[in-house]
């Protein structure tokens, strides 16, 4: 099992990414789908969402 490569690794979030995160979260997308759409890690996406009080749906 190989690790995924994220081109935005350790890069600051910009306004466009924040807007897409809010949009996808409001549509009920799960963390994994949002992270993949933004080309960010799940941990990074989760931390940014928590920091900015954005609710992300928990997919089971």
pLDDT digits (tens, 9 = 90+) for 3-56: 666 666 678 899 999 999 999 999 999 999 999 999 998 999 999 999 999 999
Q: Name the residue range of residue 34's domain.
A: 15-51
Residue at 22 is within a domain:
yes
Does the predicted model carry a pTM greater than 0.85? no
Residue at 4 is within a domain:
no
3-state secondary structure 1-60: CCCCCCCCCCCCCCHHHHHHHHHHHHCCCEHHHHHHHHCCCHHHHHHHHHHCCCCCECCC
Residue at 59 is within a domain:
no
Residue at 46 is within a domain:
yes
């Amino acid at each position: 099992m190989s690790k995924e490569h994220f081109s935005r690794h350790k890069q600051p979030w910009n306004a466009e990414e924040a807007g897409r995160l809010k949009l996808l979260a409001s549509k009920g997308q799960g963390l994994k789908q949002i992270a993949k759409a933004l080309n960010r890690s799940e941990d990074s996406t989760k931390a940014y969402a928590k920091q900015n009080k954005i609710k992300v749906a928990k997919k089971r």
